[in-house]
Structures are given as structure tokens and as C-alpha cells.
């Protein structure tokens, strides 16, 4: 369902006027780019001669970068260590124009850093430095206190769960009801193993693999998609569910007032080329929530998120989409 030019203008003119909180696993994405000219004599692996190095915000921090790129104000509640990776993350926040006031330091925890080595425009290997232990009760209390301090000013809450230990079941059991009490739109970018913890939220945005895992069936066609989506809607008592399906676009499930009644709407992909899907899920949930916060319906927000995703998958690494680029991608194609 393409949006009319009038509706595109109405929604995009209001994007950039909301404050959105992101709570989840923040991390640093480090990229080493180089040339591959030979195989190592030590093992059957390519030798990458590094020519360039970059760092970017990853995980929940990349969601915030996407929110900021669209013009909305992003507040990030996350946990970092007391280490060099945390310093890199703080610098990334500063360079991106993001506030780091809601980042909480846990001296017993390592800041997550993913290092991707790229040879001849292809990822050769990824090296992760991280702690996967769940937050202590003390850190959970600090995260909740930070949430409560700022919740009254925010239109929405994005829970960005990368399975790095920040999004715990005890935290969600307090966080979701509190966010709903504040009247916030609550969106979750899920970790498949945590699915049953995301009850009573506004929307969950899994890819089809995550949805298949959570529903306990292989989603291979419209019929299995319908069964899996309706099962998740019912079991988790969701307001809506947005399943991203790669080359097959996206499918939105939403209730029609009655919990037993729902609609399933397909949206074909906007991507003209797919170069790298890194961070695409971050762009989807960020643009979807920004659109809803600007007054878009769930279907309109899906069109906008689908279009935004089509832009970022055409770029290498975790990219963001500006409001100007988004407007351009939403224009009807000839």
C-alpha cells in the first residue's frame, strides 16, 4: 500500500518532534578493511592486509543513531564497562550528537565490541569481546531508575535485545507495565530465546527465522506465516507483530479491536540491491517507532520502515537513513 504524497508529507513533517527511549544492549562495531593477496602459511585462512579502520555504534546504540538520523531525540539506557571500549562508545555518542547521560557504568562488566574484518569487500571473520552474564539485581534497579527518571518525557520505548545480558526477565516484568502506565508505545527488537518474556507490548519486530523459532514451526509460505503470526499474537497478547522476511518484504499482524480477530498485511520489499543486512533490524524498528510517534497508523509505519530498510541494506555496515533520504525513497516509482 503506497502512501500518497500528501500523507508522506504529513507524517515526515512530524517526524523529528518526539523523544524516544531505547533500552538494551549497547555495543561498538569495529571494522578493519583490507586487501587479500595470499593464504596464510600457518593455517588455510586468508591474510588481510589492513588499510583502514572505522568504528560505529552498534546494537541499541545503532537504534539510537537511526532515531537521531531521522531527527527525533534518542535517550539510550544501557550498561557499559569501565574500559577502552566504553571510551570508544562515549566518543561515538558524542561524534553522533547523541546524549550519553543515561549510560550506566558497571565496573564488573565488559563493554561489548564486535570487530569485523573485511577483505575485498567481504567479511572474513568477526571477533567478539563481551560478557553474556545477566545483569545483577543492583544494575537492574539502576536501569529501572534511569527509565523512570525520563519516561514521562518520552513518546515511546524501544527494547533492543541482542542477548548480551541487559534485557532480563525480571527487568521486563517491571519495565513493560511501567512503560504502558506512562502511555508509551512499547516496541521490541527481540532475541529469539527471550520471546516468551515480551508480553503485552505494542509491537515486536522479529525476522522470519526468529518468528519461526518462537512459534515452533518453519515459516515457508503464507499459511505457515499466518499460523505462526496468529500464535504469537495470542500467546504474547500483543497489539501487533511485524515480521521482516528479507527479499519477501514484511508482514504486519494487527488486532481489530477483538483479541480473537486480526488482519495480516503483506508489504513487498523496497530494496533495489542488497549489499549488507547488518543493522537492518535496527533501522526497521527505529523508523517504525518514529513514524508511529509522528501519528502514522501501523500500516503506514510499516511502509515507512520497509522503505528505510531498503535504503540501508544497499550500504556496507550498520548504516542509518536520514529523513531526506527516507522522503526520497517513499516517492512513487515510475
Task: In whole angstroms, give the CA distance from residue 267 to residue 294.
Answer: 21
Q: Choose, from 29, 72, 239, 282, the residue flagged as catalytic.
A: 282
If you write DSSP's letter for every residue of 50-119 in order, what string do you get?
EEEEEEEEEEHHHHHHHHHHTT-EEEEEEEE-SSHHHHHHHHHHHHHT---TTEEE-TTSPPEEEEEEEE
Q: What are phi and psi of 199, to 5 degrees?
A: -90, 145
Do residues 147 and 159 lie in contact, with contact meaning Cβ atoms separated by under 8 Å?
no
Strands (E), 98-179: 103-105, 112-119, 122-129, 156-160
Do residues 110 and 132 lie in contact, with contact meaning Cβ atoms separated by under 8 Å?
no
Task: In whole angstroms, give the CA distance from residue 302 to residue 20.
Answer: 18
Which cell numbers in the block locate residue 211?
Answer: 518468528
Residue 224 gets which letter from DSSP? H
Kindly list the distances between the CA atom of residue 173 and the CA atoms of 31, 95, 179, 203, 207, in Å, as whole numbers in the listed order.
36, 34, 11, 16, 24
Give every strand in the sheet of 26-39, ordered side by side. Answer: 46-59, 26-39, 112-119, 122-129
The verdict on whether 261 is a catalytic residue reads no
Which residues are the active-site residues?
282
Amino acid at each position: 500500500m503506497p502512501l500518497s504524497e500528501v500523507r508522506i508529507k504529513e507524517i515526515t513533517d512530524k517526524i523529528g518532534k518526539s523523544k524516544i527511549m531505547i533500552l538494551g544492549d549497547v555495543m561498538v562495531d569495529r571494522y578493519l578493511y583490507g586487501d587479500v593477496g595470499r593464504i596464510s602459511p600457518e593455517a588455510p585462512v586468508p591474510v588481510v592486509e589492513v588499510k583502514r579502520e572505522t568504528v560505529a555504534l552498534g546494537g541499541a546504540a545503532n537504534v539510537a543513531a537511526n532515531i537521531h538520523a531521522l531527527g527525533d531525540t534518542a535517550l539510550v539506557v544501557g550498561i557499559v564497562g569501565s574500559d577502552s571500549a566504553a571510551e570508544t562508545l562515549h566518543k561515538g555518542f558524542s561524534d553522533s550528537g547523541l546524549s550519553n547521560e543515561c549510560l550506566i557504568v558497571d565496573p564488573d562488566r565488559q563493554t561489548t565490541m564486535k570487530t569485523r574484518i573485511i577483505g575485498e569487500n567481504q567479511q572474513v571473520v568477526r571477533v567478539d569481546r563481551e560478557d553474556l552474564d545477566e545483569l545483577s539485581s543492583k544494575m537492574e534497579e539502576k536501569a529501572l531508575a534511569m527509565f523512570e527518571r525520563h519516561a514521562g518525557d518520552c513518546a515511546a520505548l524501544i527494547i533492543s535485545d541482542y542477548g548480551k545480558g541487559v534485557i532480563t526477565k525480571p527487568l521486563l516484568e517491571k519495565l513493560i507495565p511501567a512503560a504502558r502506565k506512562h502511555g508509551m508505545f512499547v516496541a521490541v527488537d527481540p532475541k529469539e530465546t527471550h520471546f516468551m518474556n515480551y508480553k503485552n507490548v505494542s509491537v515486536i519486530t522479529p525476522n522470519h527465522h526468529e518468528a519461526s523459532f518462537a512459534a515452533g514451526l518453519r515459516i515457508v509460505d503464507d499459511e505457515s506465516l499466518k499460523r505462526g503470526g496468529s500464535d504469537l499474537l495470542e500467546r504474547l497478547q500483543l497489539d501487533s507483530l511485524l515480521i521482516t522476511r528479507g527479499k519477501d518484504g514484511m508482514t504486519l499482524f494487527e488486532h481489530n479491536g477483538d483479541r480473537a480477530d486480526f488482519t495480516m498485511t503483506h508489504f513487498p520489499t523496497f530494496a533495489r540491491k542488497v549489499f549488507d543486512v547488518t543493522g537492518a533490524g535496527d533501522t526497521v524498528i527505529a523508523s517504525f517507532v518514529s513514524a508511529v510517534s509522528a501519528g502514522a497508523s501501523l500500516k503506514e509505519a510499516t511502509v515507512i520502515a520497509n522503505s528505510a530498510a531498503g535504503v540501508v541494506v544497499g550500504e556496507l555496515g550498520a548504516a542509518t537513513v536520514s529523513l531526506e533520504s527516507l522522503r526520497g525513497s517513499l516517492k512513487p516509482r515510475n
